[in-house]
Structure 1
Amino acid sequence: MKKKKILIVSTGGTISSKYDGEKGYSPAISAQELGSSLGGAEGVANIETVQFCNVLSFALKPNQILELVNMIRTRLADEDYAGAVVTQGTATMEETSYLADLMWDVEKPLVFTGAMLNASERDWDGARNVRNSVLVAANPKSRGKGVLVCMGGEIHAARDVSKIHKTSLNTFVSLNVGPLGLVSNNRVIFYRDPILRKVFAPVERLETNVEILKVSLGSTSKILDLMISEGYKGIVIESLPGGGGVTPEIMDSIRRAQGQDIVFVQTPRSPMGTSVSRASGGCGPWDLRQCGVINGGDLTSVKARILLMVTLPVVDSKMELKAIFDEIAP
């Protein structure tokens, strides 16, 4: 039987980095070199590589991910391809993978992976993660599951995964629902399908004029007032933990902005559970709803921001946008 092809697209990141004297580490390994580090996984597929860019992931931009997705979609139109793997830095992977997932209207799997240790370190985890990701991308059971994140032997849905630890190799977890499956002894095992997935395609542009405001004890409205005056199209309010209230000053600023061409989404700082509290008191979740602030549900603030970037250009009203959040962020 003819082996399928897997496309490995490198964007840089720790997985592609080596130490560079006193400056720390920086991207130095090419996509082709990553493709040659598979340790046996090449037996399941023919590997082709593309060097999309070579930066640490905090230098990536949303529109680059739009370009990346369009490029991979075009390449995977060739029936000889089974899927694709994107290697990148872990700092923004929970965001880039979800952005890609919202635009990924292809049955073939797109798998994001990276490394917590750079390639100069003896126990570099990059080769194993790339190998596992190739196995996932080549497996027929991965079809139709959208964009996946494969790190540390676990397979996660892009919508649900978060990076929660600063240094652990098992930093990526799906806090509310757990992983979709795992890779063990070169076997790809799925326990469930992704939930609450929605695709907006084709996406012609992103609304990148969207930001996050984090609320903490005694937060004033100075930063929020500036964001409103600067014409942001969407602001995600990362409210206080639990049900998710804000300070009176923040609440007053939101009230003053009613009627302006701006969308507010609220999601609590607590990363698990969903925002369902009816607490009021003048600046609680109930009060926010009365001002038209959309409930971000179980999404983290960074995921809610990504969803706004994709949906703002394609909706005609705030009610339509609210319906989307109600559907996929309960």
Structure 2
Amino acid sequence: MFHRQAAQFAVALLGFALFVPTSLAQARLANVTILATGGTIAGSGATSTTTVGYTAATVGVQNLIAAVPELAKVANVSGEQVFQIASENMSNEHWLTLARRVNTLLAQPNVDGIVITHGTDTMEETAYFLNLVVKSRKPVVLVGSMRPSTAMSADGPLNLYNAVLLAAHPDAAGRGVLVSMNDQIQSARDVTKTNTTTTDTFKSTDLGMLGYIQGGKPSFYRAVTRKHTTESEFDVGALTALPQVEIALSYANVGPTQVEALMAAGAKGIVHAGVGNGSLPARVKPALVAARAKGAIVVRASRVGQGILARNGEANDDQLDFVVADTLSPQKARILLMLALTKTTNTREIQRMFYTY
């Protein structure tokens, strides 16, 4: 009798040992919500070798999740289809909607992190916008792919796996909005798309990436020092629209047509993507001066892609009452200027913001 009871007890213990660790491990998994917006990662092509000429934004979020069953091992994943667009069609209205949804979700105790699937064309812009308006230290990770889901060696599934792994990891908290592509971790402020088609296109060429994802975990080597997320003074909660800010590109033989047309269209701010260190061509400068006289904020940026834009360098910014973009690209300078204009039109205050974010 004793031996039979002992045997039964041993079997019970074995069953408990087999059951409890699995349950506890499942309980320890972070809760990650995937917000899908479309893009190539949700695209499809006619054949497995179609890597250009495919149709973006055709695969829904539940199918994206189902295609990577390994996600269940790193997080408790749920999905929402926020938009289904190619990212060249991303608008200010999309950004406001997405930002409000992100903030609502992150305020919930049962959401530990968010992954946003996104087209690569404007991913860096969406990431930087969210970097300035998300009000949480919880991880927010943008991810996409350069090949559609139907392509041979599609990069989307592994990119998505890594993004979820990153969003679920405590080391990703408090680092601002991140971009995870090609096994690398990039800062929303610094990253840009550098190649039209290759899978290693996203780089922080000026200041460097933050780290790698390898062996099932993120490794960080650099910290973000500019303010973001919870330290940001910007809030989209009550905004229904963003001020109109446009970009005027400079090049050899450029004239004033762009600036004049943008002002006629109602621009409240103009980012001049100048050559070199933001030089002002002789034919464009009068149009920018006139724009400032009419109340538009003028930001000098550079089309070069790397380097600091020197204040009072290629132009007397103090005298002209212009703002300089620091190290921000023209497209990111536009985002910061839009948000700055929701707070003030004082150029000294706006310049402070460009040196802060």
Alignment TM-score > 0.5, same fold: yes
**Separation in structure 2 between the aligned mates of residue 278 and residue 288 of structure 1, nearest angstrom:** 5
CA offsets per residue over residues 43-71 of structure 1, 9 Å max, x none? 12111000111111111112212211211
- Pick the structure with more helix per residue: 2
Q: Which amino acid aligns with 1:138?
A: A
Go from structure 1 to structure 2 and tell me whether the alpha carbon gap of 1:318 and 1:278 turns closer, same or farther (over 3 Å shift). closer
1:282 counterpart residue number: none
Letter in 2 for 1:107: R
Counterpart of 1:256 (choices 275, 278, 290) is 290
* 1:73 Cα offset (Å): 1.7
Structure 1: any 5+ residue segments left out of the alignment? 280-284
Instruction: Report the AA paired with residue 57 of structure 2.
Output: P
Q: How far does residue 288 in structure 1 lie from its aligned partner after superposition? A: 4.4
Whole-angstrom CA distance in 2 between matches of 1:26 and 1:10? 13
- The answer on 1:200 being equivalent to 2:233 is yes
- TM-score, normalised with respect to structure 1: 0.92
What's the RMSD between the two structures over aligned residues?
1.8
Q: In structure 2, how many angstroms separate the alpha carbons of the residues matched to 1:70 and 1:256?
A: 36
Q: Which residue of 2 aligns with 1:229?
A: 264
Q: 1:166 aligns with which of 196, 202, 223?
A: 196
User: Take 2:54 and 2:199, find their aligned partners in 1: how far apart are those partners?
Assistant: 19
- Taking the aligned partners of 1:187 and 1:135, their CA distance within structure 2 comes to 7
Q: Displacement, 1:215? A: 0.6
Q: Distance in 2 between matches of 1:272 and 1:315?
A: 28
Match 1:9 to one of 35, 42, 52? 35
Name 2:301's counterpart in structure 1. Answer: 267
Percent identical residues: 29
Q: 1:326 to 1:78 in 2, by over 3 A?
A: closer
Secondary structure class of the residue paired with 1:310:
helix
1:28 aligns with 2:58: yes
List aligned pairs for 1:92-131, cutoff 5 A. 92-131=122-161
CA contact (8 A) 1:17 1:29 kept: yes
Q: Helix, strand or coil: the match of 1:133?
A: helix
Do residues 325 (structure 1) and 357 (structure 2) align? Answer: no
Matched-pair contact (CA < 8 Å) for 1:160–1:174: yes
Contact 2:102 2:134 in 1 (8 A): no
- Mean alpha-carbon deviation: is it higher for 189-198 or for 149-158? 189-198
Residue in structure 1 matched with residue 105 of structure 2 by the alignment: 75
* Cα distance in structure 1, aligned partners of 2:317 and 2:108: 48
Q: How many residues align?
A: 322
Is there any run of 5+ residues in structure 2 with no aligned partner, and where? 1-23
